[in-house]
Copies of this chain bind each other. A is one copy, B any other.
Amino acid sequence: MSPRIDRIPAGIVNLADYERLASERVDSATWAWLDGAAGDELTRRANREAWDALWLHPRVLRPLAHGHTRVHLFGREWPQPVLVAPVAYQRAVHPDGEWATAWGAAAQGAGLVLSLQASAPLESVARAMQADAGRGPLWMQLYWHPDRGWMQELLARIEAAGYEALVLTVDAPVSGVRDRERRAGAGVPPEVRSVNLVDRPRAEARGAGPAASHVFDHLALAAPGWDDVAWLASRTRLPLLLKGVLHADDARQAQAVGAAGVVVSNHGGRTLDTAVPTAWALPRIVEAVGDAMPVLVDGGIRRGTDVLKALALGARAVLVGRPIVCALACAGALGVAHALRLLRDELEAAMALCGCATLEQIDRAVLWSEEPAHEEAASHGRADAPARTHRACAR
């Protein structure tokens, strides 16, 4: 199998351009599903605005030669601190679906987190990704299912296919009140299916009855608890990340039960409207567990400056979802690669203009702070700045 030949559409210079173009090209029901979020979509908007509200504090005249954006995580290095976030049913927007996303991500050295609700077999997506030597990591997203036997089989299948980490989504015990999607009705076309879940047992509808609550008497019975996470961590040799953590206590507990990392996420604003934007929650979680395990983040990242800000707040890498799938919709594998390239170019420029040659040099000091840092005041009148400012950038 090989990618269809797409062309990069004219006039695309950033990720938002891909989103705008996709809004015209994707059918309206699928678009409502892909682009929509919960409720009044305030969290979705706040995710974006929270990154924009962080101001950068540029530095000048620092050594930048032969800098790079390489990232180390879980014993592995890859070219840029970006992974494609798990998004279901990608064949609904492009016939090459998840394969194209894998090809594009691999070509640009970004990672891929495949959705459990992918519309392509997880093994074949893995092979598409693995064909590229310079590729980033390949991770698998999971939803919990109370049938542990089935989960165990799924883990075996994922490990066998070469996936390098598991990402358990924990912020969606209920599916969220997605008004735009509900109003549009249909969602993705019926021929696009969760091909990896065909053998999944149906959750029993225990507790049903006329007064039963769909949330508390049905969905909640199938939702995971901390003991399920501990069980999952104990049954796999892969690092297990929890995706959807927004509270420092939950991050600490994640570490306590054996998780290897957390992804600070509010599901792109798709589950709980007015949930806190991820850029606000991130530094608190980094403070709680950042020394002990990697913290990643997603939600509203559209610009290289956003990536820089996330790293400045302590994230080790970021996930980007909707705009990559929009690029897929517009131009297949080539679009995915192009979007990831635009993001990396922007990150490199932003790093250079903030005086950071490597990710290790990025820290809180690249963000404007109402209160100038202590060291700044302390250094008043000192002339040894070149060495000093370099240290200021190191973590």
Which chain A residues have a beta carbon within 8 Å of chain B's beta carbons?
11, 13-14, 16, 39-40, 42, 46, 52, 54-69, 134, 170-171, 173-174, 176-177, 179, 182-183, 207, 211, 213-217, 219-221, 223-226, 228-229, 242, 244-250, 252-253, 256, 266, 271-277, 280-281, 284, 288, 303-305, 345-346, 348-354, 357, 368, 372, 376, 379-383, 385-386, 388-389, 392
Contacts and interface: CB of A to CB of B under 8 A. Distances in A.
B273 A219 contact: no
Contact of A64 (B14, B216, B242, B273): B216
Contact of A225 (B61, B266, B372): B61
Contacts of A346: 39, 177
Q: How many copies altogether?
A: 4
A349 B272 contact: yes
B389 A250 contact: yes
A249 B376 contact: yes
Q: Tell which of A14, A40, A60, A256 has the most Cβ of chain B within 10 Å.
A: A60
29 contacts: A16-B40, A39-B303, A52-B274, A54-B274, A55-B280, A57-B275, A57-B281, A58-B171, A58-B275, A60-B244, A60-B246, A60-B247, A61-B224, A61-B250, A64-B215, A64-B216, A65-B221, A67-B216, A171-B353, A174-B352, A214-B348, A215-B348, A215-B352, A226-B385, A248-B376, A249-B392, A252-B379, A253-B385, A272-B349
Interface centre among A11, A173, A284, A352 (most CB of B within 10 A): A352
A220 B354 contact: no
Contacts of A216: 64-68, 348, 352, 357
Contacts of A42: 52
B368 A213 contact: no
Contacts of A244: 58, 60
A210 B13 CA distance: 22
Given A183-B13, A249-B376, A272 B386 contact: no
Q: Which of A59, A224, A392 has the most CB of B within 10 A?
A: A59
Contact of A58 (B13, B214, B246): B246
A249 B376 CA distance: 7
Contacts of A55: 46, 274-277, 280
Contacts of A174: 348-349, 352-353
B274 A305 contact: yes
Nearest to A389: B249
A243 to B, nearest CB: 10
